[in-house]
Amino acid sequence: KEKFQVFQDYPDILTPVQASKALRIGTKTFYSLIRERKLGHIRIGKKILVPKHCLVDFVKSEHNPLFVASGAASDCQRKEKEL
């Protein structure tokens, strides 16, 4: 399986602050991505957690303005729709 080296120093499940730092975006932008369902995440009550593989999917997705992908739904987006 392909490894994404840029996130290797982060835990497998990230908090909003950690995910924002990993993506090098502000927390307002992070919460906008969550609200718009462009970044896969897990909600436990009011708490938001982001699996590392969802960060990788986002970076490689069409939602990331710096990367143009094939348009296929990411694993995180498919799993979120199944829930």
Mean pLDDT to the nearest integer, 53-62:
87
The chain-wide mean pLDDT, for the chain, equals 81
Largest CA distance in the chain: 33
- What's the mean pLDDT in 36-42? 93
Strand order across the 47-51 sheet: 13-14, 47-51, 42-44
Q: In the prediction, which pLDDT does 45 show? A: 95
pLDDT band at 8 (very low <50, low <70, confident <90, very high): confident
Decide if pLDDT at 81 tops 70: no
Residue 60: per-residue pLDDT: 85
- Mean local confidence (pLDDT), 40-61: 93
